[in-house]
Amino acid sequence: MRTLCVSLFWTNTTTNLSQTVITFPLNNVIMIAIVNVGPHDSPNPMGERTYEVRINKRVITTFKHERGDGLSVCLQKAAKAVELESDCELKKLFDFITSRQ
């Protein structure tokens, strides 16, 4: 069986690097997206925006990010936001994805 293994990395003040690994079966197509949901009318194009982390169409979590901080910071914030979600919610997501096989 083919699987998708997602590794989430981030740094924090107590350790140099943390990691979480989530594995999904690939019987169905899985899309992981980080989506800028606004505000889109802000006068500062590099200012703070709200982002959603989605797997397929399902929103997993949201976080705030200053666009001026760059892509690597955005990815780290996305990983941390997913990690902060409860294990129960991630299990529900895994069950949802695997039930579609």
Identify the structural domains of the chain with CATH numbers, from first to last: 3-93 (3.30.160)
Amino acid code (one letter) for 76: Q
Q: pLDDT (tens digit, 9 = 90+) per residue, 9-31? A: 555 555 555 555 666 666 666 77
Q: pLDDT (tens digit, 9 = 90+) per residue, 34-75? A: 999 988 888 898 899 999 998 878 888 899 999 899 999 999
Nearest alpha carbon to residue 56 among 30, 79, 78: 30
User: pLDDT-based confidence at 82, cuts 50/70/90?
Assistant: confident
Q: CB-based contacts of 71: which residues, under 8 Å, 6+ apart?
A: none
Cα Rg, the chain, nearest whole Å:
15
First to last CA, the chain: 12
pTM for the structure as a whole: 0.62
